Amino acid sequence: MMTPVRYILLVLAILLSLHYLLSLTHEGYGKATSVSHLTNYMNGPQPPYKDGVPEQYYKPSDPVQLPERKANATFVMLVRNSDGPNIMNSMKQIEDRFNRKFQYPYVFLNDQPFTENFKKYISQLTDAPVEFGLIPSDHWKQPDWIDEAKATAAREDMMKNNVIYGGSVPYRNMCRFNSGFFYKQELLQKYKYYWRVEPDVKFFCDIDYDPFLLMQDEQKVYGFTITLYEYETTIPTLWETAKEFIKENPEYLPADNAMSFVSDDGGLTYNRCHFWSNFEIADMDLWRSEAYTKFFDYLDRKGGFYYERWGDAPVHSLGAALFANKSQIHFFNDIGYRHEPFQHCPQGDLHKNGKCWCDPGSNFDYEWYSCLSRYDKLF
């Protein structure tokens, strides 16, 4: 006969076993999904990024010798004076991992004048040119044609529902600016390509080749490292508005675009996939094009940046997916990157050859909330 003590021990053993199994199927769901996605992916067609980077884009090993060829490109950093320590952290990594070898310039933008201390400490981090720009008020502030009563009610409703940044007007100003105004700034008019860098991000790997030249020579217009689903509560009418624009302007959509990345049913609905725009290497001519200019203006007049909380990430993603050829969108698989709480850590030989310091097991690529598998299916 089983004693009470043995009975209790048996029950505890069963409970612990169940907990372990549940943890594997729930908390470990992302990792299990990663393996299954990767297995299916490796057996199927290979997206272009799997071919790696041609040797011609790599810099000579001599640390003094600058590359013979450079693209017309710059880093872009939208920051406040109070972001100084965090943007210096990001910039130091960019310099150490890439730019000390390539010497691309920097453009810093702010809706307030930069302090002399900010400019001094930033300029000390690089030998490359650095410029500081003040954003015009009409490119930053909420436009006067927005119905403030309606916008206030929307913010209050989002705050009640705990929507991230739901009550913030400055955040909305930033999203609108990044969506339709950053590339119009005077300091950026002389450049074609940009690399967007934000405060307190991490770059895990040495980058010994020139991503800008790769974009230029292979006619890429948009590059990313992380892609995921957008919060539905922030964009309830964004796709319906985009569909209205598409219906009125079908001539702007190339036949071989990336519509299937953002829609699973030929454009009827939006699956909420977007490229995480805190990292972008892209061609500003995409945003300066007639198609995107009209698209942004159409979205802007609808007021969704303020009546809802449309982010620049889904807006840019729709612009790239709709108006570019799918072959012009590039996954920078070899650039290790983290913006809290997600990160892309290169795998296998990419990790070793890039001298990366991230944990390959901590990688968002094929987690359940990632959209990378949908990007893979474009090819």
Domain at 107, CATH number:
3.90.550.10
pLDDT value at position 7? Answer: 47
Residue 13 lies in a domain: no
Please list, in sequence order, all residues whose beta carbon lies within 8 angstroms of the beta carbon of residue 81, skipping any fewer than 6 positions away: 110, 112, 114, 115, 118
Q: How many domains does the chain have?
A: 1
pLDDT value at position 68? Answer: 77
Choice between 358 and 43, residue whose per-residue pLDDT is larger: 358
Residue 29 lies in a domain: no
Pick from 241, 177, 210, 196: nearest CA to 337: 196
Pick from 185, 75, 192: nearest CA to 122: 75
Residue 16 lies in a domain: no
pLDDT confidence bin for 41, thresholds 50/70/90: very low
Residue 52 lies in a domain: no
Is residue 280 annotated as a catalytic residue, yes or no? yes
Residue 187 lies in a domain: yes
Averaged pLDDT, 289-311: 98
Cβ burial, residue 313 (10 Å; 0-12/13-18/19+): buried
Residue 45 lies in a domain: no
Amino acid identity, position 188: L
Question: Does the structure show a pLDDT above 90 at 9?
Answer: no
Q: Which domain holds residue 290?
A: 74-377
% pLDDT > 90, the chain? 81
Is 196 in a helix, a strand, or coil? Answer: strand
Catalytic residue from among 280, 290, 308, 367? 280
Q: What is the pLDDT of residues 332-347, one digit of tens each?
A: 999 999 999 999 999 9
Residue 32 lies in a domain: no
pLDDT value at position 46? Answer: 63
Residue 160 lies in a domain: yes
